[in-house]
Amino acid sequence: MTDDVLVRARDLQVHFPVRSKGLRRKVVGAVRAVDGVDLEVRRGETLGLVGESGCGKSTLGNALLRLVEPTGGTVEFDGADVTAMSRPALRALRRRAVMVFQDPYASLDPRATVGQTVAEPLQVHGLHPGARARASRVAELLELVGLDASVASRYPHEFSGGQRQRVGIARALAGEPDFVVCDEAIASLDVSVQAQVLNLLRRLQDQLGLTYLFVSHDLAAVRHVSDRIAVMYLGRVVEVGPAEQLAADPQHPYTQALLSAVPVPSPALERARRRTVLAGDVPSAAAVPSGCRFRTRCPHAFDPCPDVDPALQAVGAGQTAACHLHGVVGSREARV
């Protein structure tokens, strides 16, 4: 069982201090961006991570790679504790666990050629030493992502958003990673180009046996690429399950509301649907409600919700949800 899990987060926390104004800048509180997340990413799967802005999904993706420092809990990568890694061990991790960023305009160095950008990880990790070997590896990587090898001598500004994102993917794959975090990797692309990149990511997964964490606010895209989906709300994973099962039969009231809000590109279905329109806004992560953090907007909130912080519990085959509607059991201790 342990063997098929590549990345495992246990009670992971990333809290950012809130300081007072003035000279002393005392710590007066914390933004609990990630606040007690248990999550497993299995080898060879795509785990979709969805949630609205500010829910902590990007911070969680970063924390799994230790691109932000967790303030509590642990992350295991292939059995090794990432949170305790030394610098050399972290450097080795950076080859095996990589990130594809959202904005291909900001994540490529405008003064480096595409070839230099893709070659950089090879140099850092001492792979394919020698200029000729490196150049041929760069050409191979560019062709792998559907670009012509000749583009290596060109600069990012000569490319469209979709092509830049391909460069970003080629760079991420340079060190032959096992695990790729795609952080809103299609969010800034046009619809027709999004489809190209989604198809490419899936082809690469088949070809290279990659494991993906696909972080996105776009539920339709997440459902399309994912084997399993995890839903985040206010720093916590509130539901996890097989993609189609979770999409067809969501068990957490937040997942239900989120799914019902996603517009469907079919006029007949849109006319027929009934939306659960959530009242109000997401509370601040610096002032998380007591008990269940969704209770302030939940249409089903009842007695135990303000007092007991619900734990993830089984609600279907391979599906878990953190909600008292499924029985007030296994509640997690209140975290202060």
Partner 1 sequence: MSAPVLEVADLRVRLETPRGPAHVVDGLDYAVGAGETVAIVGESGSGKSVSVLALLGLLPASATVTGTASFGGRDLLAMSEAELRGVRGNGIGMVFQDPMTSLNPVLSVGRQLTEGLLAHGVVTGRAAARARAADLLADVGLPDPRGALERYPHELSGGMRQRVVIAIALAGEPRLLVADEATTALDVTVQAQIVDLVTRLQAEHGTAVVWITHDLGVVAGIADRVLVMYGGRCVEDGGVDDVFDAPAHPYTRGLLGALPARVDAQRGPGRRAPDLVAIAGTPPPPTELPRGCVFWPRCPVRGDVRCETEQPPLVRVGGTDPRPHRAATFYGREIP
Piece of the chain touching partner 1 by CB under 8 A; list 65-73, 111-119, 276-284, 299-307: 276-284
Closest CA to 201 of 175, 232, 224, 217: 224
Minimum CB separation of residue 283 from partner 1 in Å reads 11
Q: Beta 228-233 vs 236-242: how paired, if at all?
A: antiparallel
CB nearer partner 1, residue 49 or residue 64: 49
Q: Does 4 bind partner 1 (CB under 8 A)?
A: no
Q: Look at residue 241 and give its three-state secondary structure.
A: strand
Contacts of residue 321, defined as CB under 8 A and 6 or more positions apart, other chains included, come to 238, 239, 240, 241, 251, 252, 255, 312, 313, 315
Q: Does 220 bind partner 1 (CB under 8 A)?
A: yes
**Is residue 100 within 8 Å of residue 169, measured between CB atoms?**
yes
Q: Does 270 bind partner 1 (CB under 8 A)?
A: yes
Q: Does 205 bind partner 1 (CB under 8 A)?
A: no
Closest CA to 40 of 98, 90, 79, 96: 79
Q: Does 278 bind partner 1 (CB under 8 A)?
A: yes
Binding mask 6-45 for partner 1 (x = CB under 8 A): ----------------------------------------
Q: Does 170 bind partner 1 (CB under 8 A)?
A: no
Q: Does 160 bind partner 1 (CB under 8 A)?
A: yes
**Is residue 225 within 8 Å of residue 46, measured between CB atoms?**
yes
Q: According to CB under 8 A, which one of 68, 127, 149, 193 is a site residue for partner 1?
A: 193
Q: Does 263 bind partner 1 (CB under 8 A)?
A: yes
Q: Alpha helix (H) ranges present in the chain?
A: 57-64, 87-96, 114-124, 131-144, 161-173, 191-208, 219-225, 243-248, 253-261, 267-272
Residues at the contact surface with partner 1, assessed by CB under 8 A:
52-53, 160-163, 190-196, 198-199, 202, 217, 219-221, 223-225, 242, 244-245, 248, 257-258, 260-270, 275, 277-278, 281
